[in-house]
Structure 1
Amino acid sequence: MEPDAIVVGTGPNGLAAAVTLGRAGLKVALYEARETIGGGLRTESLFDPEIEHDLCSAVHPMAVASPFFRRFDLASRGVTMLSTPVSYAHPLKDGRAGLAYRDLEATCEHLGPDGERWRRLMQPLLEHSQELVDFILSGQRSLPRSLSVPALLASRMLVHGTALAPRHFSTEEARSLLTGVAAHAVGRLPSLASGAVAVLLGHLAHAGGWPVPESGSARIADALAADIVACGGTFHTNHHVTRLEELPRAKTVLLDVSPKAFARIAADRLPLRYRRALARFRYGPAAAKVDFLVSEPIPWANPAVGQAATVHLGGTQAEMYRAETAAAAGIRPEEPFVLLVDPAAADPGRARAGRRPVWAYAHVPNGDAVDPAATVTACIERYAPGFTDTVIHRRGISGAKYEAYNPNYVGGDIGGGAMTLWQSLMRPVPRFDPYRTPLHGVYLCAASTPPGPSVHGMSGHLAALSALRREFGVRTAPDIGPR
C-alpha cells in the first residue's frame, strides 16, 4: 500500500512532522540514511558498554518549552527531564564564576551589584514566558495577537545584541554569564540574532531550566517514534535517498535535509531562480566536538560550577566577542568558545564507579579539519586543573567530519545555517511559506527553515501543517497529545 506522505530524515523535525501527519490520519513512511533514527537525538556507547554519550544534542530547554512538545507531553510518555540547581555556569580564569540558578532570586543574590539589573532583564520575560517562546518559535509569517511581547523582545535585543551590551552590567560574572548564552547563536558577537538567543535561552534557565533527558537524548526520539508507529507509520533505515525519483509515490514529501542536500536530491527539477536562492544560503561556524570518558567528576577550580550540567568556557565577554567573531570570519581562534555538558551532574544514573561521560565542543570556522581534542582538553584544564589526569578515553571530531556524521551539519554547522537576523527570519529562501518548495507536494522541514535550530520540533510541525492545508485540505491542527 502506497503511503500518503513520506518524510526523509528522522531528526527531531522529521519525527515531529511525521507525528503531526500521522495524527491527521495519514499513512506515513520515513526514510533514514543511518542505521538508527534520531539525527541530533542519538545516544550511543562510545568507549564503555555501560556508559552512553549523546552524539549531538544533550540539553533540552526547548523540549520543555516549545508549543509542539508542550502538547506532545514527553512526561506522559515516560521521558523524564532532569535539571540541576544551576541551569548553566560560566567559570572565569581567576576562580570566579557566573552561576545561573534555576531560582531567579538566588541568581540575583549571587550577582551582587548586578543582581537588580539581572532581575529587571529576566522578570518581565518570565512573566510572559509562554507568549515569548510561542512568538519566537512561530513561523514568523503572521502578526502576533499582541505587540507587547515583540516589543519586550526587541528592547532587550537592542541592548544585549549591539555595542551597548558591555555597558549594561558592571561585573564580569554577569557580562560573561549572558554572553555565554548569546554564543549559542554560533556567529559574530554581538549581533541582534545572538541577542534574541540570549533572551530566549537565558530566561528559560529560570523557568523550566536547562534539563537533560534521563538516560540520554535518544529517549525523546524513541517517544516520537513510538507515536508514529502507533499511528501506522513505518521506518526505513539504512536508506540513503539520493534522488526524489527513487521514493515511492506519495501525495506529499517532507525533507528534513539541508538546502545543500535538497539541491542535490532535487537535481534539475528545481527552477533556476530557486536553485540560485538556495545557493546563496549561508552556513555558520562549525562545532568541533570531543567526547570524554573520565574517572571522576570534573575538578572545577570553583566547585560551584559542578552544580551545572551545562558549562560555558569562553573567558570574559571581550574574549568571547573576539573568538566568536573570528570563527564567523573563518579565522580559527587560539582559545575558542567551548560548550561543555556533564550529563551525570543532573542524571547520576549516566555514571558508574570510576566512569563518567562528558562532552564538549568548540566553535571553529566552517569546514575546519583540525582534530579539536587537544584544544578542548586544554581549555577545560584552564578552569579545572587536573582534568587531564581524569581522562580515560577521548575522541575528537572536527567540524569537517561532523558533516560526515550528519550531512545536515554542512561544514560542521549544527544549526542548519548562519544565525543572522535576516537568515533567521527568511530561511532558507525569502518566501511567504518557507516550507513549501516550487516542486508540487514537496516541503522542507529541517532546522534550515523557521524557527531554526534546537530540539523544539516546530520546523517539522509547521511544515506538516502547511502540507496538510495545501495537499489534503486539513485546516485544523491535529491533536498530538497523549492518547
Structure 2
Amino acid sequence: MSRYDVDAVVVGAGPNGLVAAVTLAEAGWRVVVVEAQSEAGGALRTVESTLPGFRHDVGASNHPMAMASPAFRALGLESEGLAFAQTDVPLGHPIAPGRSGILRRSVAETAERFGDDEALWNRVMGFFAPRWRQLGRAIGDPLHPTPDLVALGATSVWPTPWVLRALRDERSRAVIAGLAAHSIVDLGQPATALVGVALGALAHGVGWPVAVGGSQAIADALVRRLLSRGGELVTGTRVSRIETLPRARAVLLDTSPRDALRIAGHLFDARTANALHRMRYGAAVHRVDWALDAPVPWTDPALADAGFVHLGGPADEVVRAERDVARGRMPDEPFLLLSQASRMDPTRAPEGKVAFGGYCHVPFGYDGDPVEAIEARIERFAPGFRDRILARHSMGPSALEALNPNLVGGAIDGGISDLRQLLARPRLALSPWATSAPDVFLCSASTVPGAGVHGMPGRLAAQAVLKQLR
C-alpha cells in the first residue's frame, strides 16, 4: 500500500496553481487542489459588483499573454469552452481631449499615424509582432534565453525615458510610456521599456483579448480540465500548516511568500526562508468599476473602438505619475488602466448598457480614496461621463488583499519586477520553484517569470516536480 494519499497537493487555485495541477494530472499524477475561497480563480474573478447583469473582472481583464503563453497554448482550453473576443483596436491612449495615440492590430496602420516615428515603429514592432510565439516562449521562460529574448533585451532593456528620447511623435511616446507602466515600477528603472515593447508587440501579434463571460472563464476552464483528468478541487479550506494536508509526494504552493513561510517555513533552511522574507513589493492598485447606461462619451471618437484605454496624458505625465507612486506619493493625476470589455464581449452588460472599469496605481498599502480624482480625470477626456453612471464599486489595496491574500498590500505583481528581482524570484537559482524541502515547491507569481495570466510559474514548477521526483 502506498504511503501517500495522493501524488501532489496544490495550495491555492489561482491560474498558476491550476496550471500546475493540470500539468501534473495530465502526466498521470493524482492531484488535489486546496483553495481558501469558495471558488477557484484567485484574482481571475468576474463578479456583478455594481448591479445585476453587469459583470466586472476583479483582476486582469486583457489577456495577450494567455494567447501567447506556452502553458495555455499547450493546454488548448478552447476544448473546455474557453473563448476570447477582441477588437481591431487593442489600445487607445488619450493625450489631450480629442487627441490620442491609437494602437491597432496592424503594425503598418498604427505606424502611419505616428508621424516621424513611422519608420522606427514599423522596424521594431514589425520584427517582434510576427514572432509572438517565440516572444511568448522567451518571456515565459527567461532562465533559458533564446535569440528572441536577447533581441528584445538589446532593443529595450533600458529605462523608459531613454527610449522616449528616441521617439519624436507625442502619440507613439504616450503609447510606449503607457505600455511600460504595466511594469508597475518607476519607469526610470532599467528594463521597463522592455515591458512596453513586449506588450506592444503582443497587441499587434495576438491582440489584447478578453475572455468571453469574464476572466473567471479561464479559471473555470482549467478546473474542468483538472476534473476531467481525475483531479480534485477542495474549496473553502484555508491551509494553516503543511501537516494538515493529505500525504503527498509533492506539495506546490501557489501562495505569497508570506503564506509559504506560514505553511511550510519550519521545513525550509535559512537560505530559502530568508529569500522569501526578503521579497519586495512595489506599487498597489485601487480598482473602480462602473455600471453605465451608455458608452463612455470620449471626446476623441476613436477611443470608442478601443478595447482598453490608458488614460495618462503625455508620456512625461505617465513617467511622473509612476515615479510618484513608486516613492510613496499619490499623484494628483493618476495613470488609469481602463477596460471597455463590454465593447468586445456583450455578455458583460445588459443590452444597451456598459460594464466599464479599471484601476490606477497607488502606493503600497495606500488607504486613501482616489475615486473622485479618477472620475474627474475621466470626465476631462469624456465630458458627461458622470451623468451615465448607474452604480460604482471601489476596491482599495486592503479589500483586494482580503479577497486574495496573494495581493500583498494590494500589489498585483507577486513582488516588484525590477531588474534586481526580475529573475531572483524568490532567489536566483537554476530551479527557483524548488525549496530546501525536497517535496515542497513554489508556483505563484512570486516565482519566475512573475506576474501575468500566463500560467508559466505553474507549468515550470510542475515540470520541476516531474524532473526532480520522477
TM-score class, shorter-chain normalisation, is over 0.9
Task: Give the aligned residue type for 1:24.
Answer: A
Query: What pairs up with 1:39-50 in 2 under 5 angstroms?
Result: 39-50=42-53
Paired residues for 1:166-205 under 5 Å: 166-205=164-203
Measured in 1, the distance between the counterparts of 2:467 and 2:120 equals 46
Identical amino acids, percent of aligned pairs: 42
Q: Between 89-98 and 188-197, report the one with greater CA deviation.
A: 188-197
Write the distance in 2 (CA, Å) between the matches of 1:405 and 1:375. Answer: 24
C-alpha deviations, 1:357-411, integer Å up to 9, x for none? Answer: 1111010100001133222212211211111111111111112321111110111
Q: Does 1:103 align with 2:78?
A: no
Contact map agreement 1:57 1:217 (CA 8 A) in 2: yes
Identify the residue that residue 141 of structure 1 maps to in structure 2: 143
Distance 1:74 1:98 in 2: 34
Q: In the aligned structure 1, how far is the partner of 2:49 from the partner of 2:283?
A: 26
Structure 2 counterpart of 1:118 = 121
- What is the CA–CA distance in structure 1 between the aligned matches of 2:211 and 2:131, rounded to whole Å? 25
* Cα shift at 1:235: 0.9
TM-score, L = length of structure 1: 0.94
- Does 2:374 correspond to 1:373? no
Whole-angstrom distance in 2 between the partners of 1:143 and 1:318 = 32
Tell me, in whole angstroms, the C-alpha distance in 2 between the residues paired with 1:276 and 1:373: 38
Q: Is the 8 A contact 1:88 1:99 kept in 2?
A: yes
- Match among 75, 85, 91 for residue 88 of structure 2: 85
**1:90 is paired with a residue of what secondary structure?**
strand
3-state DSSP of counterpart to 2:96: coil
- 1 CA distance for matches of 2:233 and 2:157? 45
- Asked if 1:390 corresponds to 2:388, the answer is yes
The answer on whether the counterparts of 1:369 and 1:401 sit within 8 Å (CA) in structure 2 is no
> What is the distance in 2 between the residues matched to 1:174 and 1:32?
43
Q: How high is the TM-score relative to the length of structure 2? A: 0.96
2:14 to 11, 28, 31: 11
RMSD: 1.5
Inter-partner Cα distance in structure 2 for 1:123 and 1:346: 25
- The code of the aligned residue for 1:171 comes to D
CA contact (8 A) 1:193 1:419 kept: no
Tell me the distance in 2 between the aligned counterparts of 1:99 and 1:276: 45
| Contact 1:372–1:398, Cα closer than 8 Å, also in 2 | no
The answer to whether 1:314 aligns with 2:312 is yes
| Secondary structure at 1:116 match in 2 | helix
Aligned counterpart in structure 2 of residue 301 of structure 1, from 295, 299, 302? 299
Amino acid at match of 1:116: A
Deviation at 1:333, TM superposition (A): 1.2
Tell me, in whole angstroms, the C-alpha distance in 1 between the residues paired with 2:419 and 2:442.
20
Select between 41-50 and 251-260 the one with higher mean Cα deviation.
41-50
2:155 counterpart residue number: 156
Q: State how far apart, in whole Å, the 1-side matches of 2:69 and 2:308 are.
A: 20
Distance 2:271 2:346 in 1: 53
**Partner SS state of residue 49, structure 2:** strand
Who is 2:337 aligned against? 339
Q: 1:133·1:200 contact (CA, 8 Å) conserved in 2?
A: no
Helix, strand or coil at the partner of 1:168: coil
2: distance between equivalents of 1:359 and 1:375? 15
- Give the corresponding residue for 2:269: 271
Query: Which AA in structure 1 matches 2:272?
Result: Y
Unaligned runs of 5+ in 2: none
Cα shift at 1:162: 4.7
1:283 is aligned with what amino acid? Y
Task: Give deviations 1:274-325, integer Å, cap 9, x for gaps.
Answer: 2222221111100110111111101111010111111101111111111101
Give 1:53 shift: 1.2
2:430 matched to which residue of 1?
Answer: 432
Letter in 2 for 1:155: A
Whole-angstrom distance in 2 between the partners of 1:332 and 1:298: 25
For 1:450 and 1:68, how far apart are their aligned partners in 2?
14
Stretch deviating more after TM superposition (102-111 or 268-277)? 268-277
- Matched length: 467
Residue 141 of structure 1: how far off its partner (Å): 2.9
Matching residue within 399, 404, 407 for 2:405: 407
Tell me if the contact between 1:290 and 1:359 (Cα under 8 Å) persists in the aligned partners.
yes
The match for 1:58 among 25, 41, 61 is 61
DSSP-derived class of the 2:361 partner: strand
5+ unaligned residues in a row in structure 1: which ranges?
A: 474-483
